[in-house]
Structure formats: structure tokens, C-alpha cells
Amino acid sequence: MKIDYKKELESAAKSMILVHDTHTLIKIIVRMIVHKVKVGHAGILLQDKDRDTYVLTVSRGTAGLKIPSGFARMDADNPLIRFFSQHLDEKFFSGGVVVYKEAKKILDNKNIRPEIKELVKGALHQMEIFEAVVCIPSYFRDDMLGLLLLGAKNNGRRFDKDEIDFFIALTSDVAMAIRNAQLFKDLELELERKQNLFIHTTITLAAAIDAKDHYTHGHTARVTALSLAIARKLGSNNKNTIDDKFLEHLHIAALLHDIGKIGIPESILNKEGPLTDEEWKKMQEHSTLGAVILQPIKELEDAILGVKYHHERYNGSGYPEGLKGSQIPLIAAIITAADSFDAMTTDRPYHHKLPKKQAIEEISRASGEQFDPQIVDALVQLYQENKV
């Protein structure tokens, strides 16, 4: 039975974003590869940045290599690590993936420089030690976070193009998931120490969200700033409404309001033009997914309300639960207005930006329908005071 690799990739991506422990994450991926693709064994060498080395974190399979986790490592000067870090000529090694048999043939090519040939020989020797027939690096930006080593398939056949493409896409998702898991670990540590350090880590995570959705670059920072300004204006109008704790929760919620987009395919996030009904339904999942991702961090209980409900509408026509009026948490209602104002006043693939005056008029017309009237009043006041 032929494997639907697109479906498997989406399933793996959904599983990965919900796992915040790196070791557990790697075990899930390797187990999935061994069972679904039917390889004899698979392993992942994970970067240990502090020691400048790569450690065999997980190795699974019924055949071939049997090295306990943590007992094999490659330092930065290891030929296989150097092979990928030196970005070899792509005309010889397409996409940075090394298939042992193909690489072996390339050694006969007289156009390869002697020093490169020696490096390739060394890299292939390392693959032999690990009994790997395919080796694929996992990058986050320019940083190689890990190395996927695959043994031979159980049926003895070679890996075809669809399988190689699947592994390349998978390792890309794995890199993002590893990075996110590391960031979440940092978040928890920062919460245990100082709140201000936690905010800085949260900003880093928010930047990762912006990086995934390149049409909304800077959106998170702008929404956060405007949300806090609206809240402070509400507080000056009604001093019993807003306190420092609320502002703290709002700050975090606004920074992370789109974190669920980590689980939305980039083909949807970066699509030029309107979304289909199916794509729009998938996009709407990001608010609930964001809440699920953050739920394990108990200190974020109040902030999660802003993440989950920032697409609810005052008249009850929003999502995910169709809350209306006072049912919508204030923290979410504030982000809703700030999020909409920024969307209106920045260029998107489906519309050109509006002048601020026109955006304010649009939001004022939707007061009591899409937006909480008291929040609209605060936003209008900020505009009149030339603070937005």
C-alpha cells in the first residue's frame, strides 16, 4: 500500500507542535519513520550546543545499528558534520541530502577537488559506521540542529524521490519543532525566575511566528503595543477595570495571540489571494490550537483567554465558540480590536492597506457588532490624541 506522504507529514506536524520535551519529540519522529516507512533502523543525532557536539539521542529499529542513546557522538570536526556545515556544491549533492550509493558514485567524478573528495570519503565512512544509507540534516535557519540517519528499507528497495522529499520536509518541520520545544523550555524556566526575562523569551517566540507568516512581519509587535495602549486608556477611563496584573497577562497574550499559526501550513499562511472555504476553516483552527499549545504552562491561564478568544465578535458571530457581549473575556476583546486595526492598516495579499482614519471609521461602524463599544471608544480616543 502506497503511503500518502502529504497526509503523514501533516499528521506528524500536528503531533510535533504539541510536544514540548525535545527527547519525547525525537522519539515520536523516529518511531513514526521506522513504522511508516519500514526502515530497518533510524536515528537522530541532536546538537548539544554547549559542548559543540552532536549526540545520538534516539536510535530505533529491529535491524542494523544497535547503539544505546547517548553513547555515540560527533564533534564539530567530524567529517559528516563538516560535510553538511561546509555547504558543498549543490550540483553534486542536491538539496544537501546524502544517499550513500549515489555519493559513492560521485567519488569517481574527476571534477571534484581532492580536498572535497577526502571529506566525502570521511563522511561516507561515518555513514558506514552507523549503517546509514541516507543522511539528512535538520536546519533552523543556518543552524544545524540535528542529523537524521536512515538504515536500509526492510524490503531492500532504494528510497524513491517521494520518500526523500518527505524526509526533507519532515526534517524541516522537526527543526522548527525542536526549536519551539527549546523555546517552551526556556519559557518555563523564565517563569520560575524573573517575569521580565520571560517576556524577552516570549518576544523571541513571537518573532518565530512572524517569520513563518512573512506577510504579517512585525504584526505581533504592533498588536501588542496597541493592545497595551487601549488597556491603559480603558484604565484611565475606569480605574477599576485595569491593573498591573491584567496588563502583564495582556502583554503575554498579545505577543502569543497567533502562536497557533505554527500549526497552520505555510501554503495557507502565505497564499496570495483569497482562501478557499476549506483553507479558511483550517486557518480558523489557529486560535484553539494556540490555547492547546500554551495550556501546559499553568502560569499562562489568564493569557490563554486572549489567545483562544481573540476572534470572537461582540454580536456572537465569531469563533471558536460564538461568544457574545460580556461573555468575551476583556483581554481577548482588546486584542480583537488591535488585531483588526493592524490588519486594516497594513498590506496583505488580499487587500491594500487603509489610511488610519478610514480604519478607525470602519471599526467605529462595527462597534456593538464586531467590537466591544468601550474598546472602540478607547481606540478612537487614542487616534484623536495621535497615539496610534
Ranges of each domain in the chain: 5-177, 194-384
Give percent of the chain above pLDDT 90.
28
pLDDT in tens, 168-203: 888 877 777 777 777 777 777 666 665 555 666 666
pLDDT in tens, 326-375: 999 999 999 999 999 998 998 766 667 899 999 999 999 999 999 999 99
Q: Does residue 65 register a pLDDT over 60?
A: no
pLDDT at 67: 55
Provide the pLDDT confidence category of residue 14 given band limits of 50, 70 and 90: low
> Burial level of 384, CB count in 10 A (0-12/13-18/19+)?
exposed
Fold of 194-384: Hypothetical protein af1432 (1.10.3210)
Averaging pLDDT over each range in 70-74, 142-146, 254-258, which range is the top one?
A: 254-258
- Tell me which residue has cell 550509493: 101
pLDDT at 199: 60
H helix runs in the chain, sequence order: 5-17, 22-36, 79-85, 100-106, 114-129, 161-192, 195-212, 219-237, 244-255, 266-269, 277-294, 301-308, 330-344, 356-365, 373-384
Q: Does residue 92 register a pLDDT over 80?
A: no
SS3 for 306? helix
Provide the pLDDT confidence category of residue 162 given band limits of 50, 70 and 90: confident
Which helix H or strand E contains 150, and what residues bound it?
strand 143-150
pLDDT at 63: 47
194-384 has the same fold as 5-177: no
pLDDT higher for 70 or 49? 49
pLDDT at 180: 76
Fold of 5-177: Beta-Lactamase (3.30.450)
CB proximity list for 114: less than 8 A, separation 6 or greater: none
pLDDT in tens, 273-291: 788 888 889 889 999 998 9
